[in-house]
Homo-oligomer: A and B are copies of this chain.
Amino acid sequence: MLSNKSRMLLQSIKIFAGRASDQKLMKIIDKVHPADLGLVLGHLKKSEVIKVFSLIQDNLEYAGEVLKEAELEITVEILEGLDPKVSSKILQEMYSDDAAQILDKFSDELRDAILKEMEETEQRDVEERLDYDDETAGRIMVPDFFALPPDTTVKDTIKSLQKAEDIEVFYYIYVTSEDGQLAGVTSLRQLLLVNPETKLRDIMESEVIVVNANTDQEDVARMVARYNLLAIPVVDDLGRMQGIVTVDDIIDVIKDEATEDMLKMAGAAGAEEYIVSGSIFANVRIRWPWLLASWFGGMFAFYITGHFEDALSKIVLLAGFIPIVMGMGGNIGTQSSILVVRGLATRLIDTNEIWSVVSRELRVALTLGLMYGTLLAIAVLVLLKTGIIVGSSEFIVSEVRLASVVGLGVFSSMMVAAIIGTICPILLDRMRIDPAIATGPLVTTSIDVFGILVYFSIATWLLL
């Protein structure tokens, strides 16, 4: 839900963009924080977006800030519609990591055309970002940081600070040796506490927490979060400082990774960009493969029930319990797998502790399975005894036996589901595959298939 403030902004923009009252529209935009305007862009019609953007595109810096905060897909769409000369000017105003993220979504031709229009320094910065893999520290870092040699005095440091421009974060002051090696770090506040003639060497903290440029952004986020940093320096393999990743980028990483994990759980991995917009076709393309897994699982379950047709035709009642067997198994399996996946993602569970986690989940499943299996057996017995349900088949089994089989069936399918739900993510994690896919359709489908197999096996074994 948009806040009331954003909703009012959205309404006013819609009204004035519709009436083509450029002046009034401009007045509104003038008062708005670029982040608020960026947020609202995604809720406007295409024609309205174009109108708004035509008004701000001359104020390059403001336009850049708006686009940085807008949804990536909308930003890409807007910039694709502009002249490469204008796009490149706007992108130049952004930090190189944000510009690289956007350019990465363009076609090769358009990207090259835009890069060619950029000024040399900016072009190099962006190209350097693009040289690093997606989702690494090198890609999300900014190359503009404030670093001075160890022999600089505090007085000179403050002078340099006063002259510095275009540096993203000023809270930390990095100390680097001549060859670019990171030697230490100090803070702006520290500068104020000491004699102006003190050298940085004497006040710097020399044990600096750093990441390599190829470190995965998720690991970078984890370090920034663990050590409560405002920025983390990025070094190359030789320990030379390359840039910094700031905490606001880390917040975006944490949010994006959470969304990514949730969509994986839903079997909609890669659909991040289609949450709001995106064509039907793009949506279908992302979602069909996961449903295919489910389709094959369903066909397989059909094949299995085919093998038990004899039991089914003798005791038609058995078919009615397929939903509860699948439902209870599916739910307890999802509980187990999400607890394990989230535990692995937040580093609360270590794969070395596999047995303690599996054994605990099994004991939980045992308790819940006994509870609900017994409850089902009792309920079925009561329904049969009171004649509320009547087996229409000629094949006679005692009511107690039928109730026990159904209860045991649900119990067993819950146990099987908990085992699959717990072990799959752990195995995937060991194989260095993202365990989040284990909570998606693949595991749900296997749980369905195995649950039905176990249920009918028990029924055939004990009833026929």
Contact = CB atoms under 8 A, between A and B. Distances in A.
A372 B331 contact: no
Contact of A444 (B287, B330, B375): B330
A38 to B, nearest CB: 9
Interface of A: 1-3, 7, 33, 35-36, 39, 42-43, 69, 71, 158, 161-162, 170-171, 187-189, 192-193, 209, 219, 224-228, 230, 247-248, 250-252, 254-255, 258-259, 261-263, 265-268, 271, 274-276, 280, 283-284, 287-288, 290-292, 294-295, 297-299, 301-302, 305-306, 309, 312-313, 316-317, 319-328, 330-332, 334-335, 337-339, 341-344, 346-353, 360, 363-364, 367-368, 371-372, 375-376, 379, 389, 392-393, 429, 439, 441, 444-445, 448-449, 452
A330 B330 contact: yes
Contact of A255 (B254, B265, B276, B352): B254
Given A275-B342, A351-B1, A375 B290 contact: no
**Could you say how many copies of this chain the assembly holds?**
2
Nearest to A266: B338
B323 A263 contact: no
A316 B309 contact: yes
A375 to B, nearest CB: 7
Nearest to A252: B225
Contact of A326 (B283, B326, B337): B326
A346 B421 CA distance: 28
A268 B338 contact: yes
A135 B202 CA distance: 42
Given A349-B276, A364-B284, A367-B284, A305 B290 contact: no
Given A1-B351, A302-B324, 7 more contacts: A254-B254, A267-B335, A275-B349, A283-B364, A295-B328, A299-B324, A305-B323
Contacts of A247: 230, 247-248, 251
Nearest to A161: B192
A40 to B, nearest CB: 10
A3 B367 CA distance: 34
A327 B39 contact: no
Q: 4 closest pairs, A vs B, by CB?
A: A298-B324, A301-B323, A258-B258, A319-B319
Contacts of A306: 320, 389
A444 B333 CA distance: 13
Contacts of A323: 297-298, 301-302, 305, 322, 326, 448-449, 452
A452 B326 CA distance: 13
Contacts of A188: 170-171, 188-189, 192
A347 B39 contact: yes
Contacts of A292: 372
Contact of A319 (B2, B250, B312): B312
A365 to B, nearest CB: 10
A320 B305 contact: yes
Nearest to A38: B226
Contact of A275 (B161, B263, B343): B343
